[in-house]
Structure 1
């Protein structure tokens, strides 16, 4: 009987230790294109706190990151260039949601990304193809 109680307690203790050791995504808020690109680190939940734009280059870009969520929270990413609204390369487990992207050659471009998840409502208003 004591062995069963000890075994049960050990399993419960191991479960508690393992369940608390997983790291949740850190929530970060960004306010412009450069700041959003800099805030993209591994295991981050990135929220836009307002609409952002870049008329001359790609707005949000990064590479070699894992477990990223970009939540525009209904804000827009606008531009007027032949680049990208959001460009991610060689990343894993990416979620992009609630974004409106307008005025770029490609609104959202994920190059060599595994585990991509574009959750609607993402709205690519106009991809400029020349």
Structure 2
């Protein structure tokens, strides 16, 4: 928790702020489905709390990824059908959970590792609304 208190907007990964802004301008609902119990605090420290319509974290679910519960709860809270959702993940278990929830999976990381993702970007700079919509 003391390390989290030192997080600032300088720690936001490249392209994330712009991507969230694109989604908001286009009218998409944005949820976070995190395996961390500190998701709310981290998001607040980053200055991104207002970008999300809802946050589901590990403190509010019984099952952890690759179980789809966290993604399904986020979709339900947003009032969106899972098949209409796109999940973004950097871990194999997260991609599995996205698919188990019936969602489109975007992986961020090594394409050789995230082989089950529907779309993979090596880093967050490729994560744009146009790039995602082109593949759905």
TM-score by length of 1: 0.30
Higher relative contact order (CA 8 A, sep 6+): 2
Hey, which of these two has a bigger chunk of helix by percent? 2
Structure showing greater Rg: 1
Hey, which of these two has a bigger chunk of strand by percent? 1
